[in-house]
C-alpha cells in the first residue's frame, strides 16, 4: 500500500493505493483503494486504513487481505514504522511483523533535486520574470509535437 496523509480545507485525507504482483499475467497491478478522511496521527491513519481494507473484505476484521508493505512520506502523522506498528495491532499486515516492508517516498526529494538544478541553470520562474524557466511555461502549452 502506498499512502499519503493530507489536509484539504481543514479535512484530513489519507490516500491509499494498493499494488500487487500477478503470477499468471506477470505484471504489477495497482488500484486506488480510496482517499477517505482520516485524522493526522498514525493511530487515526491506521484506523482509517482498517475501515478502507474492510471495504474489500467479505467480513470486517477477518484478517484477510494482509498488507506486505507500505510506502509513506516522512513528515506529519501516519508515517513509516509508527504507522506500521498501529496497523499491525489492527491485523492489517501479514502476521510476521518482519515480512511487512516499510519504505519512505523519495519522489519529493527527486523533485527538489531537479528543481534546484533547473533554477541554478535557468533562473527562478515567475509571472513577472523573463527567463528560460518562464519561457517553458509560456511556450509549451501551445506547442504541439507530432510524431
Using a pLDDT cut of 70, give the percent of the chain over it: 81
Q: Kindly report, residue by residue over 109-123, the tens digit of the pLDDT.
A: 677 777 787 788 777
β-pairing, 101-104 vs 27-34, is unpaired
Contacts of 79 (CB under 8 A, 6+ apart): 5, 42, 72, 73, 104
CA 136 to chain centre: 28
pTM value is: 0.70
Q: What is the pLDDT of residue 134?
A: 65
Residue with more model confidence, 144 or 5: 5
Per 3-state DSSP, what percentage of the chain is helix, strand, and coil (rounded to 5)? Answer: 35, 25, 40
Contact 67, 94 (CB under 8 A): yes
Phi, psi of 28 (to 5 degrees): -90, 130
Write the CB contacts of 24 (distance below 8 Å, at least 6 apart in sequence).
Answer: none
Task: State pLDDT tens for residues 52-95.
Answer: 999 999 999 999 999 999 998 877 778 889 999 999 999 999 98
Amino acid at each position: 500500500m502506498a499512502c499519503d496523509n493530507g489536509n484539504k480545507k481543514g479535512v484530513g485525507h489519507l490516500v491509499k493505493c494498493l499494488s500487487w504482483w500477478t503470477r499468471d499475467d506477470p505484471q504489477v497491478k495497482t488500484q486506488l483503494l480510496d482517499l477517505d478522511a482520516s485524522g493526522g496521527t498514525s493511530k487515526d491513519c491506521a484506523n482509517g486504513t482498517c475501515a478502507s481494507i474492510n471495504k474489500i473484505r467479505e467480513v470486517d476484521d477477518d484478517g484477510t487481505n494482509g498488507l506486505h508493505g507500505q510506502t509513506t512520506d516522512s513528515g506529519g502523522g501516519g508515517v513509516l514504522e509508527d504507522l506500521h506498528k498501529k496497523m499491525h495491532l489492527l491485523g492489517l499486515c501479514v502476521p510476521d511483523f518482519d515480512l511487512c516492508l516499510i519504505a519512505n517516498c523519495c519522489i519529493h526529494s527527486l523533485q527538489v533535486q531537479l528543481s534546484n538544478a533547473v533554477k541554478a541553470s535557468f533562473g527562478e520562474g515567475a509571472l513577472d520574470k523573463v527567463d528560460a524557466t518562464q519561457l517553458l511555461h509560456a511556450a509549451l502549452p501551445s506547442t504541439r509535437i507530432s510524431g
